[in-house]
Amino acid sequence: MQDEIELKLAVENIQIEQFASILAQFNVIAHQKAFLANTYYDTADGYFTRHKMGLRVRQKGDDYTLTLKTDGKVSGGLHVRPEYNVALPNAEPNLAALTEHYELSLEITAPLNPIFSTDFERHMWLIQTTPTSQIEVAVDVGKVIAGEKQQAISEIEFEIKEGGLAPFFAFVADFLNHYQGNVHFYSMSKAKRGYQLAQGLIPKASDWIERWRGFLHTEKYAKKTSEKLTALLHYEQALIEETLALGADHFATDFIKTVERVGAFFNLAHYYDDNKNLLETALNEQLAANHHYALENVLTALTEANAQFLAQIREIIRLHSETKDNGLAMRKLFDLIQTPQYAQRMLHLVTLTLGEE
């Protein structure tokens, strides 16, 4: 068993040549391309779904691997998940081989059924960032398939192969400085997307005024600044992903929906402006606990980024108020939250929410 630690980015119109050009500026020690065919299994009563686990058989060439991904933690786009792997002779999901190898106790007697698949081409680069740190960068392009339903896969994953979180974050920050194009951190795994597609679930708009009240309740009783910042980050990540999942058309004909959605982002930006000591206090908590993973300029970078965030949201509000053009306002918002600079800001926030590795 090992912990998988990775950051996931959703991107549009992936250009492999652009990635190769960016990564050529780093110390690439290996590069390969492979087609990965993945089938996820569950019982008829959804045992793995109910326990927030995923059971997958992956085929890579003539090799087959059975993987059990257990419930983990997601902070922004940072995924930390314990997982178990065992080699198989074929595509049959031999669960007994995995449970016996790791001495796991799973109360399963029902047969396993294929639920969905994720098939994609993966380009992988292994980067030596320091003498003791290696990071794998993977670009995945393909599809999630559940029966006749499909969704596109277009992602970048950064995964720690050797070393700690500090050089990992430094590398991702450096990468974002070079990247151009629409991008945002993504908390949803391919497996979760597959389960939702198989179940026919569609994005629904949340009551973000009520969810903001929930954050303020958490803030009131939080014992550490990092707890406040973590709750704030989870709120923002969920808001970003739901907004993009709903799409601009959802808001185009409804003035109130647009006002409420832009207002949810304004609440975030204004909160950071009203609580300027929040970030420094969170950093000091990390330093006192000797668990510090942020870049040296994190406070300056975040202060400037939050000020720009507030100014841009205010400009969108002004534009919407004057033009009453919902589509224009939402396009401006979509553009803002998918810039590499916005992703850089989110990355800095992630580094300030972490405790022990």
For range 106-117, the mean pLDDT: 90
**In terms of pLDDT, which residue wins out, 187 or 317?**
317
| Closest-CA residue to 155 (of 178, 121, 127) | 121
Better-predicted residue by pLDDT, 292 or 327 = 327
Higher pLDDT, 109 or 158: 158
Proportion of the chain above pLDDT 70, given as a percent: 95
Q: What's the CA gap between 113 and 95, in Å, rounded?
A: 12
HSE, side-chain direction, 13 A CA sphere, residue 291: 12
Question: Each residue of 339-357: pLDDT tens digit?
Answer: 999 999 999 999 998 864 4
Confidence of residue 77 (pLDDT cuts 50, 70, 90): low
Residue 171 has a pLDDT of 96
pLDDT at 357: 44
* Band of residue 62 on the pLDDT scale cut at 50, 70, 90: very high
* Residue-level length of the chain: 357
User: Domain-by-domain residue ranges, the chain?
Assistant: 2-198, 208-351
CB 326 within 8 A of CB 258: yes
When pLDDT is cut at 50, 70 and 90, the band that residue 80 belongs to is low
Q: Mind listing the pLDDT tens digit for each residue in 126-161? A: 999 999 999 999 999 999 999 999 999 999 999 999
Q: Is the pLDDT of residue 277 over 60?
A: yes
pLDDT over 80 at 71, yes or no: no
Calculate mean pLDDT across residues 7-34.
92
* pLDDT of amino acid 187: 87
Distances (CA, A) of 227 to 165, 193, 217, 354, 355: 19, 28, 12, 10, 10
Mean local confidence (pLDDT), 235-242 = 96
SS3 332: helix
Tell whether the model's pLDDT for residue 78 goes beyond 70. Answer: no
Average the pLDDT over 77-85 and give the result.
Answer: 72
Question: Which pLDDT does position 83 carry in this prediction?
Answer: 85
pLDDT at res. 12: 85
Model confidence at 105: pLDDT above 90:
no
Q: Which residues contact 213 (CB under 8 A, 6 or more apart)?
A: none
- Position 103 scores a pLDDT of 86
% of the chain with per-residue pLDDT over 90:
76
Q: Which CATH number fits domain 2-198: 2.40.320.10, 2.70.160.11, 3.30.365.10, 2.40.10.120?
A: 2.40.320.10
Q: pLDDT tens across 114-128, in order? A: 999 999 999 999 999
pLDDT surpassing 60 at residue 33: yes
